[in-house]
Chains A and B, each alone.
Chain A
Amino acid sequence: MSSQHDQQPPPAATALPIHIEGLTKKYGSMYALDAVDLEVRSGEFLTLLGPSGSGKTTLLMAIAGFNRPDAGSIRFGDEEMILAPPHRRNVGMVFQSYALFPHMSVAENVAFPLKLRGVDAQESAERVAEALATVQLESFGDRGIDQLSGGQRQRVALARAFVFRPRILLMDEPLSALDKKLREQMQIELKHLHEQLGVTTVYVTHDQREALTMSDRIAVINHGRLAQVDTPQAIYNQPANAFVADFIGESTMLPLSRDAGGRLCFADHVIGDAAADGDYSLVMRPERLFVTDLERKDCDQTLVFSGVVREFVFQGETAFALMSVNGEHDIAFRFGTDANSSQNFLHPGDAVALGLNRQDVIVIPQDDSA
């Protein structure tokens, strides 16, 4: 599952790993960060993904130095940074609001960090031009910030964040203000830019698709704790717990019982071998289920569930439906549509059988604190 990750080119020399240990931040009696341990590898693109209030932004702000944790350690490489003020941390950051200085031109904004670092005028001009070229805004240097569109502002914010060659780049939901089309285009661009710069990047989003699209690894965070840290494929295919299974992608979760031999079962389907003690759930991704022959029975490779269609919605490229099993459980499934295939159209009340390849079966422990 991580073979794709292993094949990446070696990270650029400027990148630094981030070691976070026991990072804790309380707001009143609520833990925004609850003893978080996280390793961000040198040069990787790591996304902090979680619902609002999960602590992902608090964690990012702690790395940038904008909030003071109650306890813990943040090291950039070997250097302890927990007490360093933000202006000494030398990390680039793209803010959700872009935070471009409205009284400066595009070029002045991008030159700002260089000026503070005492870079001489000529080199500064060259690097500003180079950074603007990287974000495809070569001819925009003299523009005022209020003359730019949302997408252009986003690029300027980005150029300003990497022009001083920081070892670490932080991004706080930088695409959330853009419309869907532009957002998807920028996701790909950001991914390429990261490959080009090779800088260690920590990216915050609540958008799972964005996280899956861009990341080398995703850290799913909930209630101030890391629920799972892994590659996008692993997060999606092998969620570690109910929260991750529910938060990433669509899923149907069914409680599993045990047969006489202690094997995990749903109704009369044997799902898995005897596992450790505790309760487990079966997780099914709607798109991995397929409509199959009503007469078909379980086999070595495939589980078959039968029931009655309860809901059917056409959504464009896919159709979404709910199948009721014994009137007790609903199983969600999704399939691709085409223009003239009437079999794609199910009606409430239709009897239907759904198949699921055993390799797509996900079993997760039921009670976890994450």
Chain B
Amino acid sequence: MTTSAVSAPRGKGMNEEALRKQEVGEQRLLLSLATPALLAVVAVVFIPVGWLFYLSFMGNDGQFSLQHYAKMIEYKSYARVFITTFEVSILTTLICILIGYPLAYFLAMLPPRLAGFFMLAVLLPFWTSLLVRTYAWLVLLQKNGLLNDFAISIGLWDTPLKLVHNLTGTLIGMAHIMLPFLVLPLYGSMRKIDRDLMQAAANLGASPGQAFRQVYFPLSLSGMVAGSLIVFVLCLGFYVTPAVLGGGRVVMVSTQITAILENQYDWGAASALGVVLLVATLAILFAATRLFKLDAALFGKH
């Protein structure tokens, strides 16, 4: 490269070719760093999903057929599974917002060092196995579990409440597991809100309540929508917690897929369910990005 730089003509356009080559070289190097990850994504995401997609259009006789999709329209039970899935996901998301917004606000108001300490409380469960946390809730909530025993012993209620193996238990467990996914982006967007803005609002005559409604809340909205969307999408495909805490009464798409595979070993039907869920999820994500102009919140654009 040195030789070509020296031999290049002097004056305007000097070393132009060598400099351009250098730039292209750097871009290639950067791209090569991403190659293993790209290959992994192709290997573990696109190929298997493509295979499932293919299977869902295969009839039991090995010919192309829409029978799996037709069955989903035909039997009411499928519709119910999807309704339950969306119902559980929406309720979990709402519970997360109700608990997570004040929590994130509290964290955002603390001085950064203290906030880091309290953030541990949010993150700690993150570092514990999902299965452990789910069974921990089972221990707490079951008929003769810690919560019922304690409440009865201090006389809050007389007969054990049914807190688990139903929708209540599923929601409690899922909200607990999903909470950090909402709090983290929300906290991030709240931290980015300039404190001068709240002072400016007060200075211009806004009471604390007005300042919150008209300035703080709208500015935290992008983080809240991003977090809610992550929670909602994760809920749609969630398996372990609904399976354990729902006790077979809360049938979501994921648990239904397992049931089909275990009972009928019908890959085609299971794949079709998965494809519909995937398409529905993508459609919701697309609509939400359009609706809330989420590019900024999700991809860190300013």
Contacts and interface: CB of A to CB of B under 8 A. Distances in A.
Interface in B200-233: 200-208, 210-211, 214-215, 218-219
Interface of B is mostly: helix
B132 to A, nearest CB: 42
Interface string A83-114: 00111011111011101111100000000110
Contacts of A89: 203
Interface in A14-55: none
Contact of B197 (A91, A92, A99, A113): A99
Nearest to A93: B203
A117 interface: yes
Interface residues of B, number: 19
Contact of A103 (B206, B208, B218): B218
B199 interface: yes
Contacts of B214: 112
A85 B211 CA distance: 13
Contacts of A90: 205
B206 A87 contact: yes
A86 B203 contact: yes
A90 B211 CA distance: 15
A164 B196 contact: no
A103 B219 CA distance: 7
B74 interface: no
Nearest to B210: A116
A80 B2 CA distance: 76
A285 interface: no
A164 B210 CA distance: 17
Contacts of A93: 200, 203
A66 B196 CA distance: 10
Interface string A153-170: 000000010001000000
Nearest to A92: B203
A19 B8 CA distance: 74
B203 A64 contact: yes
Interface in A111-157: 112-113, 116-117
Interface in A287-328: none
Indicate the member of B201, B204, B218 with the most A CB atoms within 10 Å: B204
A87 B200 contact: no
Interface of A: 64-66, 85-87, 89-93, 95-97, 99-103, 112-113, 116-117, 160, 164
Given A64-B199, A87-B205, A95-B199, 5 more contacts: A97-B194, A99-B197, A116-B206, A117-B205, A164-B205
